Amino acid sequence: MTEVVRLDNVHKWFGDNHVLKGVDLSVRKGEIVAIIGQSGSGKSTVLRCMDHLETINEGRITVCGLTFGKNIARKDLKRLRRDVGIVFQSYNLFPHLTVEQNITLAPRSVRKLTKPKAKDIAADVLAQVGLNDKIAFYPEQLSGGQQQRVAIARSLAMDPKLMLFDEVTSALDPQLTGEVLRVIEKLAAGGMTMVLVTHEMGFAMKLAHRVIFMHEGRIHEQGDAGILRNPDTPELKQFVSNGL
Amino acid sequence: MNQEQILYLIEGAWGTLLLSVLTFAFSAMLGLAIALMRVSDNRIVRAGAFGYINIIQGTPLLVIMGICFYGPSILGFSATSALFAAVLALTIHAAAFLGEIWRGCIESVPRNQWEAAECLGLNRLQRMFQVILPQALRIATPPTVGFMVQIVKNTSFASLVIGFAELSYNAKILNNSTFKPFLYFGAAAVLYFIICYPLSWLSLKLERKLTLARS
Amino acid sequence: MTYQFDFGAVLQYWPMLLQGAETTLLMSFWSTLAGFVMGVACAIARSSGGPLLRRAVGAYVEVIRNTPLIIQSYFLIFGLSSVGFTMSILTGAILALVINITAYTCEIVRAGIESVPRSQREAAECLGLSPLQVYWHVILVPALERVYPALTSQFVLLMLVTSLLSAVGTEDLFGISGNIQALTFRNFEVFIVLWVVYLAMSVLVRGAFALAGKVMFVRRRRLGTLL
């Protein structure tokens, strides 16, 4: 089974703050991994390092066959960004572009597809997230949940091999999280390799093949979804009970 | 450049400062009136101020200067002094811009301040002067100080139609006889810079302080 | 009132006035165009360039913004001719205007560029766009949409301030009006006529910018909201 993500002894400092203290991580193809933990535990940082949004100080990361440490070759970074899709907590849609233009921008600029071809892809991914009728709308006309689904579609349009989700429902009203989670479930059913940083523990239990609990910059406990029902370590016990 | 010439430039700078201070004083009063008119409940008053601002902002300062210089004598006043005409024109011009700046500042005071003041039983005048304007003043200080730079620069227009002896006029006079443009205009530029830059710097500093305080 | 108004004496010179207005609009057009291009270039230099470039552009901006246009014009035009560099009055005037307006445009556009949140840049980079593509599609274009009203006001003011360049001898509307004053001695009427014509021109120019804005910025046209 091919390995899509591998972190080897990854350390990261933000100034004096030792945020990642020797993280070893592996994600196989088709696997769905949920990373949970308190704020400051380093979970978002780990995710962002996978797409080289944060540079690590020590260790090596291998994603989709590309290996890098603190620095990364420019053409490797280009390939990395094409193979990895990331969705952010605050959606980060481009406000001056329509939904369609948001989605077709990268396929046209990066993959050099023609406008009609890119529009076809846009229609296709929007159908996947259930928003075909909003194709000509601007982000400000959409609800938070809809915007997040468009953000997911935008990443999908680049045909990624790995999808990263950084607390994608944390900024949403509770009623709107459902529609986003359903889209992610659909993706999972299609066999996409995914790493999700999330607070939604019920969702993690339902969907994830593996759950990783991070605490103070280290992987404190990991296993299948069952660890959330029966935590081994006291810290995870505390975390789970706080969440309920 | 000999001492006499340096003194002549400094005299010009003095004229510039005189115009600037007088203009600021009068346009502040007129500008405040315009701003208050712009936020008035009365539709006619609002429209009048709106008209004033847009007409003046759509007119070149030199044209206003011409009207202020030749106008009064036509309307029956005795020959106008250059200082009077220049200050009048500069004031009319600056008040349109200050009025607009200050209107924006008044309107950016949060709505709930108005409501709170009303609930305390203050009448409209009291609300404006005791609650809203003091707060608007804080917001208005950085752009107002910034606009003072504009007023100083605008005084250089006063020599062209009206013939008031300020810095740029004196520099031109010196250049007319000795043709050393880089020297005289350079020196004039330096003098303007000495007057204006501290104001620009102060305006930026105040704005940073204000943004920090609000966040 | 002992004064008899005689606008007729002034208005009979309407061909001269038309000529002057044409020159004014010509000066405004070229200085706006060049000023905009240079201003955007300076804004990009100032927000994304190396430290030396940023300081240099910053110094230029501060000098221009803290000295009056008339001094800049005298310095440039009389200065250049004193070292033997001759050019037509009109060219010199437009050059002075461009150097002036570039500094102000730079600051306006720079504010727009810096108002784009970092997260936008991140999202675009993660989609695989090159730094140049990111800059254009995600930073520059929305920045320009956002500062378009401020740019419009500024370029309208530029059109009005071309009148100042009559001091170096341009035959724009204001410059020509001096001739009419000499011919008619009706200075007050001339200024009133100037007032009306400049006002009409500023309304026209503002309208033109508004129309262009509606054509360029589809989102604004459809939604009516600010970015």
Domain span at residue C54 reads 11-223
Give the pLDDT mean for B90-105: 96
How many other C-beta atoms are found inside a 10 Å radius of the C-beta of residue C163?
27
CATH superfamily ID and name for B3-210: MetI-like (1.10.3720.10)
C187-197 per-position pLDDT tens digit: 999 999 999 99
B99-142 per-position pLDDT tens digit: 999 999 999 998 888 889 889 888 888 888 888 898 899 899 99
C200, two tokens: 């009409």
Question: How many residues are recorded in chain C?
Answer: 227
Question: Residue C187: which CATH number?
Answer: 1.10.3720.10
How many other C-beta atoms are found inside a 10 Å radius of the C-beta of residue B39?
16
Question: Which distant-in-sequence residues (6+ apart) come within 8 Å of C197 by Cβ?
Answer: C17, C21, C173
Is B38 in contact with B53 (CB distance < 8 Å)? yes
Statement: residue C5 has pLDDT above 90: no
Kindly identify which residue of chain C lies nearest to residue B193, measuring between CA atoms. Answer: C66
The answer to whether residue C129 neighbours chain A at the CB level (below 8 Å) is: yes
- Asked whether residue C2 is domain-assigned, the answer is no
- Asked whether residue C63 is domain-assigned, the answer is yes
ipTM of the modeled complex: 0.91
Is C74 in contact with B172 (CB distance < 8 Å)? yes
A30-77 per-position pLDDT tens digit: 999 999 999 889 999 999 999 999 999 999 999 999 999 999 998 999
Bridge partners (DSSP) listed for residue A6: A26, A62
- Mutation target for C interface from B63, B70, B92, B166: give the one with most C CBs within 10 A: B63
Q: Which of A90, A98, A110 sits opposite C119 (nearest CB)?
A: A90
Domain ranges of chain B: 3-210
Q: pTM to 2 decimals?
A: 0.90
The answer to whether residue A14 neighbours chain C at the CB level (below 8 Å) is: no
> For chain C, how are helix, strand and coil distributed in percent, rounded to 5?
85, 0, 15
Is B11 in contact with B170 (CB distance < 8 Å)? yes
Question: Which distant-in-sequence residues (6+ apart) come within 8 Å of A215 by Cβ?
Answer: A37, A38, A41, A235, A236, A239
B129, two tokens: 């002067």
- For B143-196, the three-class secondary structure string (H helix, E strand, C coil) is HHHHHHHHHHHHHHHHHCCCCCCCHHHHHHHHHHHHCCHHHHHHHHHHHHHHHH
Q: How many domains, chain C?
A: 1
The answer to whether residue B150 neighbours chain C at the CB level (below 8 Å) is: no
Q: Which of C72, C82, C198 sits opposite B59 (nearest CB)?
A: C198
Is C123 in contact with A87 (CB distance < 8 Å)? no
List the subunits that have 3+ CB pairs under 8 angstroms with C: A, B
In eight-state DSSP terms, residue A31 is: -
Statement: residue A173 has pLDDT above 80: yes
Kindly identify which residue of chain B lies nearest to residue C198, measuring between CA atoms. Answer: B59
- Asked whether residue C35 is domain-assigned, the answer is yes
Distance between CA A184 and CA A153 in Å, rounded?
11
Helix axes B133-154, B181-214, angle to 10 degrees: 170
Q: What separation in angstroms does the CA of C205 have from each of B66, B77, C25, C29, C172?
A: 23, 36, 9, 10, 16
- Asked whether residue C6 is domain-assigned, the answer is no
Q: Which of C129, C141, C219 sits opposite A138 (nearest CB)?
A: C219
Residues of C near B (Cβ–Cβ under 8 Å) read 1-3, 62-63, 65-72, 74-75, 78-79, 82, 156-157, 160-161, 163-164, 166-167, 174, 187-188, 190-192, 194-195, 198-199, 202-203
